Amino acid sequence: MKKIALASIGGTISMQVSNNGGITPQIGAKDFISAIPEIKKIAQISTHNLFSIASGHITFQNLLEAYNWAKNAAKDSQGIIITQGTDTLEESAFFLSLLWNEPIPLILTGAMRSSDELGYDGLNNIYNAITLIVNYPSSLNAGVMVVMNNTIHHPLWMQKKHSLALETFDSMHQELGIIFENKVEFFRPLSSLPKFPNLQTLHKKVFCYEHSLDDEKEILEWAGEKYDGIVIAGYGAGHTNLQTRDTIIKIAKTKPVIMCARTYAGPSAISTYGYLGSEIDLQKEGVVMSKWLQPKKARILLTILLSQNLGIKDFINFRDFITIK
Ligand code: ASP
């Protein structure tokens, strides 16, 4: 039987109603496994409660600790599972996918319903994550994947699209595969993106800002002074307005500025619009368009790159690596 190491971080999958009437993280890895006795027939699971926190409370430091735990656990396992909240699941998964270089799969999962709610989806998701590791096709690269709602997602593409619905994750038609009837079916290979496995600390800070109608420049001026890089979720395909254009260009002369699409679907444009504040104008002035990287992921990538003394050229290399040449 395959050996699997499972760690919990918190999130709705670990939550139950508490004294104040609201749900809070209370259970962890060990509880999940004892609630699914069938698992003993298919895998040998070791459990670890890493943290017991909501998604929004997770820090980069927590993720580095989770990574180090997983790396260590990988020495004696054929697969790793981490459970956490869904609110930042796509960010944790993307972060870990940039570091994970081990020859075994690392699967993240969570739940949209708490463990004492009718129709709790947590155990099904964990069971599917285990099924995925047990039946992982040997022809595929190992890597980081997310299993939710019988679907296997790649961290690069998946996004939480609904605040409360069970079917919340969407990979913009790039789902890797599905798990039904205890069978794993892959539709596409897991692309292996560039990796940064030796990351020790994240000492650089990247500010992520979302444009809204009639924005002013003050917050960007402040962020340009205080942060090491800026990611902007721009209007439409990645545009700014006349009030903030000069500030953005001024910041881009001294530090990385990445412009993304605020639509959260589709890439930023590269060569379509030519008005002031559009991609053709901004790129001439040193701003980099993110293409397929959505703002939250562009921020994580840039934070990791800058923390390793890498920079904008490496961001562009990664960005352009996403599609097959
Ligand atoms: N709503 C969240 C979840 O689904 C709570 C969290 O992310 O911690 O897990």
* Domain 2-186 superfamily per CATH: L-asparaginase, N-terminal domain (3.40.50.1170)
Which of 55, 112, 121, 148 should be mutated for ligand 1, with most atoms under 8 A from CB? 55
Q: Which atom of ligand 1 is nearest to the CA of 88?
A: 7
**β-bridge pairing 183-186 and 159-160:** unpaired
pLDDT band at 87 (very low <50, low <70, confident <90, very high): very high
**Ligand 1 contacts CB of residue 54 (under 6 A):** yes
Indicate the burial class of 191 (C-beta count within 10 angstroms; 0-12, 13-18, 19 or more): middle
Residue boundaries of the structural domains of the chain: 2-186, 206-321
**Ligand 1 contacts CB of residue 8 (under 6 A):** no
Instruction: Please give the distance, rounded to the nearest whole angstrom, from the Cα atom of residue 49 to the centre of ligand 1.
Output: 17
Instruction: Please give the distance, rounded to the nearest whole angstrom, from the Cα atom of residue 10 to the centre of ligand 1.
Output: 8
Longest Cα–Cα distance of the chain, Å, equals 63
DSSP assignment of 126-158 equals HHHHHHHHHT--TTSPP-EEEEETTEEE-TTT-
pLDDT over 90 (residue 237): yes
Q: Which atom of ligand 1 is nearest to the CA of 11?
A: 8
Cα–Cα nearest to 127, from 83, 190, 92? 83
Tokens encoding 105? 């799969």
Q: How many residues comprise the chain? A: 325
pLDDT band at 325 (very low <50, low <70, confident <90, very high): confident
Q: What is the mean pLDDT of residues 84-109?
A: 97
pLDDT over 90 (residue 49): yes
Q: Which atom of ligand 1 is nearest to the CA of 54?
A: 8
Name, in order, each residue with C-beta under 8 angstroms of 238's C-beta and a sequence gap of 6 or more: 232, 259, 260, 261, 262, 268, 269, 279, 282, 289, 290
pTM summary value: 0.97
Tokens encoding 33? 């496994």
Instruction: Please give the distance, rounded to the nearest whole angstrom, from the Cα atom of residue 29 to the centre of ligand 1.
Output: 16
**pLDDT (tens digit per residue) in 112-138:** 999 999 999 999 999 999 999 999 998
Q: How far, CA to CA in Å, does 258 sit from each of 230, 231, 289, 321, 322?
A: 6, 5, 6, 17, 16
Q: DSSP label at 275?
A: S
**Ligand 1 contacts CB of residue 122 (under 6 A):** no
Instruction: Please give the distance, rounded to the nearest whole angstrom, from the Cα atom of residue 12 to the centre of ligand 1.
Output: 5
pLDDT band at 189 (very low <50, low <70, confident <90, very high): confident
State how far the Cα of 278 lies from the Cα of 265, in Å rounded to an integer.
Answer: 18
**β-bridge pairing 229-234 and 206-210:** parallel
3-state SS, residue 236 = coil
Cα–Cα nearest to 257, from 235, 281, 224, 280? 224
pLDDT band at 323 (very low <50, low <70, confident <90, very high): confident
Tokens encoding 210? 């979302």
> Which class in CATH covers the domain with range 206-321?
alpha beta
Sign of the alpha-carbon torsion through 90, 92, 94, 100 = negative
Spell out the alpha helix ranges (H) of 13-155: 29-35, 39-42, 60-73, 89-99, 122-134
